[in-house]
Amino acid sequence: MLTNAAYAALVSNQNQNKNILMLKRAKTKNANSRQNKNDYTKLKEILQKRGLLTKESVFRNIVENKNIRQIGKVLLAAAFITGGIAIAVMAPNLLGALGRLNKNLSRERKRSLNKTFYNMQNNGLIKKGRRANQVFFTITPKGRSVFIKRYIKEIKIATQPKWDRVWRVVLFDIPVDKNSERDILRDRLKHMGFFQFQKSAFVTPFPCQMELEATTEYYGLTEYVTFLETQKISGEEKCRRYFNLR
């Protein structure tokens, strides 16, 4: 049986260990917070430097992208562009204009939309307030950070109404110890709209240098990637068919 002194010493040690653990967790949390802030700042600079954070670019890549089915992504993009969204007016009209929701929202749709706003607020992405007697949601710093980190993965090459007869070719030779990064780059290039011409060669007829540079810099692969423009490539017919070019 423990004496009072021994019991007090045991409790003291347990409290001390608990305090040390809490301190370690706090330090880890602060370190992660600083890292996230640094990542956000770096990514923001990468995108801004290449003109990919303009309202037009965000609207084209997210809001107008009908392949994005998650309303939350569209709402966060809209909040990023405008700074905030009035739930009673702007969101339904915006989404209705884009064909995401009918202008006359059903009760179920309204409930789903309100739930999306609630989840975004609960996750600290937007902040609720009032403006002109309407409920208004403003994007938070966390919301901006989350949006930008998602946005880099949604960027696509803008198609052009008329082809300038120039092929843009991406070649890469990535070391074996970066296999995962190589796979990510392949997936990103396909998502952006490139045609995989060979295993490590992708091609597109549309201007893409800014999007490519932002992607390779973000994933730390710039030194392994070569970009060139040419008017002729072997196997051109295959590429023309893929992009439906005459």
**CATH assignment of the domain containing 107:** 1.10.10.10
Q: Give the per-residue pLDDT at 4.
A: 64
Query: Above 80 in pLDDT, residue 240?
Result: yes
Same domain assignment for residues 17 and 73 = no
Cβ atoms within 10 Å, residue 165: 9
Region 79-91: mean pLDDT is: 67
pLDDT tens readout for residues 166-193:
999 999 999 999 999 999 999 999 999 9
Same domain assignment for residues 83 and 111 = yes
Same domain assignment for residues 92 and 176 = no
Q: Give the per-residue pLDDT at 91.
A: 47
- The torsion defined by the Cα of 87, 88, 93 and 95, in degrees rounded to 10, comes to 40
Averaging pLDDT over each range in 10-19, 94-103, 135-144, 176-185, which range is the top one? 176-185
Asked if residue 191 is part of any domain, the answer here is yes
Asked if residue 158 is part of any domain, the answer here is no
Contact 77, 147 (CB under 8 A): yes
Same domain assignment for residues 4 and 65 = no
Region 13-26: mean pLDDT is: 64
Q: Give the per-residue pLDDT at 19.
A: 64
Asked if residue 138 is part of any domain, the answer here is yes
Asked if residue 156 is part of any domain, the answer here is no
Per residue, the 3-state secondary structure of 14-48, as one string, reads HHHHHHHHHHHHHHHHHHHHHHHHHHHHHHHHHHH
Contact 225, 182 (CB under 8 A): no
Query: Above 60 in pLDDT, residue 229?
Result: yes
Domain of 64 in residue numbering reads as 55-151
Query: Above 50 in pLDDT, residue 155?
Result: yes
Same domain assignment for residues 213 and 233 = yes
Asked if residue 160 is part of any domain, the answer here is no
Q: Which two tokens stand for residue 43?
A: 């990514």
Rounded Cα gap, residues 239 and 135, in angstroms: 50
The residues near 175 (Cβ < 8 Å, ≥ 6 apart) are 224
Mean predicted lDDT score pLDDT of the chain: 82
Same domain assignment for residues 113 and 187 = no
Rounded Cα gap, residues 89 and 134, in angstroms: 8
CATH assignment of the domain containing 178: 3.30.70.240
Query: Above 70 in pLDDT, residue 42?
Result: yes
Asked if residue 31 is part of any domain, the answer here is yes
Same domain assignment for residues 80 and 10 = no
Query: Above 60 in pLDDT, residue 92?
Result: no
Query: Above 80 in pLDDT, residue 94?
Result: no
Q: Give the per-residue pLDDT at 21.
A: 66
Which one is predicted more confidently, 115 or 4?
Answer: 115
Could you give the number of structural domains in the chain? 3
pLDDT tens readout for residues 198-219:
999 999 999 999 999 999 999 9
Q: Give the per-residue pLDDT at 99.
A: 47
Asked if residue 161 is part of any domain, the answer here is no
Q: Give the per-residue pLDDT at 171.
A: 97
Asked if residue 35 is part of any domain, the answer here is yes
Give the model's confidence band at 241: pLDDT under 50 very low, under 70 low, under 90 confident, else very high.
very high
